[in-house]
Structure 1
Amino acid sequence: MEKYYQCQIDRVDRLMEIITSKDENQHLGDVLRFEDVIFMACQGMWHIKDWILNDSQFSTYKNTLNQRIHQSNVLRVCADLANGSKHLALHQPKIGTSGAVFSEARGIHVEKGIYRRFFYVDCSDVNNEYHGSEIRDLLVSARREWELILSEQYQRELRDGEFAY
């Protein structure tokens, strides 16, 4: 079975359905915790990069795409959250001097019987536009950024007559 970047995007979109649902525990059962899904979504969101850069349909523009991806502030914040959660320590942060972490600040009852916790991004660079953002908002912004990057790529290929898919 061939694999394309869309496989990773579909996985991230399924995680985003859980993250953006009104009841964060609705889809989790008794096995996963919401924090696990947040970590998986950050990791998946950042690793769309690997899927795109390794997909042969983007090979002509691989360097351009790589530069564009690494210029994205929201994706670099996701990278630090992903790599920090995956490796315990973050030795090469993409933002600031020690990257970004998130912490649970408070929870509220959204509706009767539905309790929602909020997780906020703490960037080592307090001037970063995503410092203090709620994790759901950051992930929605990151997903939109991927759509923008892919749209820009599509336009570049049309302009250059390299459209191959």
Structure 2
Amino acid sequence: MEQLNRAKRYLKRIERLYAGVFSSMAHDEEEYFDDVLSFFIHCYHVRDWALHQAGAVLRAREIDAFIDLNEPLRICTDLANGSKHCKLMRTPRSGHQPTISQPQKLYSTWFIGDGGGEVLQCSYRVESNGKSFDVRELACECITLWEMFLNCPRLTD
């Protein structure tokens, strides 16, 4: 599914942030944060693609029930909707509007000949309902859950 693949590409961006981004100029930390938030937006919208793609056999309540059963997807939903609407008007599925923390940063300097640059490693946390989650781990869980749901045999009947 195209939307799931798009979410996976954003997951790769998160993984690169965790591994370290090289720059010979200043790092754009707002852009990095945008990539993290964009993952959750695109990941949540797998729901809409599953619902509306040609030949879909799923109903909204079936997909929503799956989301409601899985904490990572509930958090993902609230992050996506909270960012889209600025403020959630409905009760958050996760129980409380989650937030993404400022990144934990680790800088390293590299010199190559006369040039060089800096490597910035970023990691982020999501705070939700009194719990803290590593963004990369949460994102991986969301992708795994969507793959499990979309590969369920009832979808191929």
Query: Taking structure 1 as the reference length, what is the TM-score of the superposition?
Result: 0.74
The residue number in structure 2 matching 1:136 is 136
Distance 1:58 1:90, change over 3 A: same
- Pick from 12, 18, 21: which aligns with 2:13? 18
1:54 CA displacement: 1.1
CA RMSD of aligned residues (A): 2.5
The residue number in structure 2 matching 1:103 is 101
Contact kept? 2:20, 2:122, Cα under 8 Å: no
Distance 1:51 1:14, change over 3 A: same
Query: Equivalent pairs: percent with the same residue?
Result: 23
**Alignment deviations for residues 114-137 of structure 1 (CA, whole Å, 9 cap, x no partner):** 2222211111x22xxxx2112111
The residue number in structure 2 matching 1:81 is 79
Q: Tell me how far apart the structure 2 counterparts of residues 107 and 8 of structure 1 sit (CA, whole Å).
A: 30
Structure 1 ranges of 4+ moved more than 6 A: 29-32
Aligned length: 143
Unpaired segments ≥5 residues, structure 1: 1-5
1:69 CA displacement: 2.9
Q: Tell me how far apart the structure 2 counterparts of residues 30 and 104 of structure 1 sit (CA, whole Å).
A: 13
Q: Which moved more, 1:133-142 or 1:68-77?
A: 68-77
The residue number in structure 2 matching 1:3 is none
Distance 1:25 1:78, change over 3 A: farther
Query: Taking structure 2 as the reference length, what is the TM-score of the superposition?
Result: 0.78
Which structure dedicates a bigger proportion of its chain to strand? 2
Q: Does 1:121 align with 2:153?
A: no
Q: Tell me how far apart the structure 1 counterparts of residues 48 and 79 of structure 2 sit (CA, whole Å).
A: 16
Q: Tell me how far apart the structure 2 counterparts of residues 94 and 111 of structure 1 sit (CA, whole Å).
A: 42
**Alignment deviations for residues 51-71 of structure 1 (CA, whole Å, 9 cap, x no partner):** 101123222x32433422332
1:24 CA displacement: 4.3
Q: Does 1:51 align with 2:49?
A: yes
Higher RCO structure (Cα 8 Å, ≥6 apart): 2
Distance 1:25 1:18, change over 3 A: farther
1:95 CA displacement: 1.2
Distance 1:157 1:35, change over 3 A: closer
